[in-house]
Chain A
Amino acid sequence: MSVDIKTTARSQVTFRAIAAHAILITYTLIALFPVFVIVINSFKSRKAIFREPLSVPTPETFSLKGYETVLKQGDFVLYFQNSLVVTVASLTMVLLFGAMAAFALSEYRFRGNLLTGLYLAIGIMIPIRLGTVAILEMMVASGLVNTLTALILVYTAQGLPLAIFILTEFMQGISDDLKNAGRIDGLSEYTIFGVLVLPLIRPALATVAVFTMIPIWNDLWFPLILAPAEETKTITLGAQVFIGQFVTDWNAVLASLSLAIIPVLVLYLIFSRQLIKGITAGAVK
């Protein structure tokens, strides 16, 4: 009798596990399928792209024609470099300035502390894009249109509110003993921040970095409006324009899409453990 109950319970559990896996696998396929189709077809000849869109490239259908066209035509190296400069520079500024502000807000009691925190947090909810018209006017007035500086400034402003918010929460959790020990040893507040606190918040910085980096790298709006010139195009804008011109050259379109996917994908796979740790850290603490 009792054996019977046990086996039904166990089979119920197995059934549930199978159902869960089935749903998750189905959704994983849905998530990966478009990426997969694009990448495999970018390595095929034009004929094969149309005749057998769902099969992997074979020795007969293998072709790199699309990649040749893309690398010959576009200034992708330059675009890539622009994106890299913009992303790295704004990321550095967001992390450094964000951490400094978060330190001031979490460490010291002063008049206006709460108000400053609230003021800086408004930007989490209100998208910076709504100020585009005035931002463009300002950039025109200061001669920054079509410079990477304009993009870096905008992205820094865009990233700061969330960064300050997350880092403030995190810094409140650091014990005071360490900092006070530093003060007794005569360290300046700047040294305490730079040498004692910054290394401790590295995991939080990594999380903020990932959250800040993805929208900057993928943004189309501000490059299109503030820096559409050939020499300042980012890779996202470059791909948009390039694909627009080559709509009929399927090899080139598929190859350029694959080229745009791969760098982000590699970065993501490197950072993904950190990202997931960061997201769940708030929960597990």
Chain B
Amino acid sequence: MQKPISKPPIRWHIPVFLAPAFIIYTAIMVIPLLGTIQLSLFSDIDGEQVFVGLANFKTLLGDPRWAQQFWNALVNNTWFFIVHMLVQNPIGILLAALLSSNKLRMKAFYRTSIFIPTILSFVIVGFAWKLILSPIWGVAPSMLDAVGLKSLFAPWLGKEEYALTTLALISVWQFVGIPMMLIYAAMLSIPDEILEAAECDGITGISQFWKVKLPLILPSIGIISILTFVGNFNAFDLIYSVQGALAGPNFATDVLGTFMFRTFFGFQLQLGDPNMGSAIASIMFVIILIGVSIYLFGIQTRLRRYQF
């Protein structure tokens, strides 16, 4: 007699291994994210939460008082991102390219030093630059004076037309280490044979970078672009610690993060409004989702990957 084939026993260790991470992640991250989207569809009417559909979004985009602030924050945020893409990532790639050349000495020293700003908190970075750029202390003006450019000095953080760019550049200063490290790692992974072959063909130095290395590191450039995008459209701390929740002067440095914080918690005479705050968070969610989708489906799939 043959025994009936018994079902394999349930492998209890699999759920046991997965459970803690799964539960915490779901409870603290996924459910609140969905909860925020849900909250944005409600409104507080006489102390009661009432379902209002997309009315909050209509207010945000249609009511002149809200719309003006929202578009201001979105435009500022976009500029903040553009500055990072134009300054931070090219500098990061340049530094990585220099660091990855074979015979260079003191590599570890440069790498370690250039990465230091990245590990500092926004509070330190914000205040340090605020002090250095302060016209009262005068480190920046006296340094410009030393090279004969004193006339160029302006209280950059206090002027509406310069403040946002200045803050973006401070943020670039802080985070340039990240693209540098990622690109550096990508360049190290290029096999020596390929570079030697290029050298045999007489392609060296700068033309080697453009013709051989750059095409090979394009996927990494894609990754740093999307990381920059997510980070920038989620920015808050630096602006809050330098300019406060009002993102002065005259909202010139307001980004979506500070706008959401102000709306949620209220400031000065305006009361906090969790529903409108959630609406802003939901829009940020959509923006980030669109960006990530463009990257995943539009860019990443088209990049050619080379297998060594």
Taking beta carbons and an 8 Å cutoff, which residues of A are in contact with B?
Answer: 16-17, 20-21, 23-24, 27-28, 30-32, 34-35, 37-38, 49-50, 53-54, 93, 96-98, 100-101, 103-105, 108, 110, 116, 120, 122-123, 125-135, 137-138, 153-154, 156-158, 160-161, 164, 188-190, 193, 214, 217-221, 225, 236, 239-240, 243, 250, 253-254, 257, 260-261, 264-265, 268-269, 272-273, 275-276, 279-280, 282-284
Known: A24-B95, A24-B99, A54-B139. A38 touches B131 (CB 8 A): yes
**Pick from A120, A253, A269, A282: contact of B21, CB under 8 Å:** A120
A110 proximity list for chain B (CB < 8 A): 11, 14
CB distance from B293 to the nearest CB of A (A): 10
Contact, CB under 8 Å: B124 / A156: no
> Which of B24-32, B74-82, B147-155 lies at the interface?
B24-32
Taking beta carbons and an 8 Å cutoff, which residues of B are in contact with A?
Answer: 11, 13-14, 16-18, 20-22, 24-25, 27-36, 38-39, 91, 94-95, 98-99, 101, 103-104, 106, 108-125, 127-129, 131-132, 137-139, 142-143, 173, 176, 181-182, 184-186, 188-189, 205, 226, 230, 234, 236-237, 240-241, 257, 264-265, 274, 277-278, 281-282, 284-285, 288-289, 292
Contact, CB under 8 Å: B13 / A264: no
Classify the interface of chain A: helix, strand, loop or mixed.
Answer: helix
Q: How long is the Cα–Cα vector from A173 to B110 in the complex, in angstroms? A: 31
A97 proximity list for chain B (CB < 8 A): 20-21, 24
Contact, CB under 8 Å: A218 / B132: no
Contact, CB under 8 Å: B205 / A16: yes
**Pick from A93, A189, A260, A283: contact of B189, CB under 8 Å:** A283
CB distance from B272 to the nearest CB of A (A): 10
A189 proximity list for chain B (CB < 8 A): 11, 13
Contact, CB under 8 Å: A280 / B137: no
Contact, CB under 8 Å: A243 / B240: no
A164 proximity list for chain B (CB < 8 A): 21
CB distance from B87 to the nearest CB of A (A): 12
Contact, CB under 8 Å: B24 / A193: no
B127 proximity list for chain A (CB < 8 A): 243, 253, 257
**Pick from A161, A269, A275: contact of B25, CB under 8 Å:** A161
Q: A93-B24, A125-B226, A157-B28 are in contact. List 20 more A-B contacts (CB 8 A).
A: A17-B103, A24-B95, A32-B116, A54-B142, A100-B18, A101-B17, A104-B14, A116-B22, A122-B30, A129-B236, A133-B36, A133-B274, A153-B28, A154-B28, A214-B118, A214-B119, A218-B119, A275-B115, A279-B182, A283-B189
**Pick from B13, B35, B123: contact of A131, CB under 8 Å:** B35
B22 proximity list for chain A (CB < 8 A): 101, 116, 120
CB distance from A171 to the nearest CB of B (A): 12
Q: How long is the Cα–Cα vector from A220 to B120 in the complex, in angstroms? A: 12
Contact, CB under 8 Å: B113 / A282: no
Contact, CB under 8 Å: A260 / B124: yes
13 contacts between A and B (CB under 8 A): A34-B173, A53-B139, A126-B285, A127-B234, A129-B234, A156-B28, A160-B25, A189-B11, A236-B121, A250-B137, A257-B128, A269-B112, A276-B111
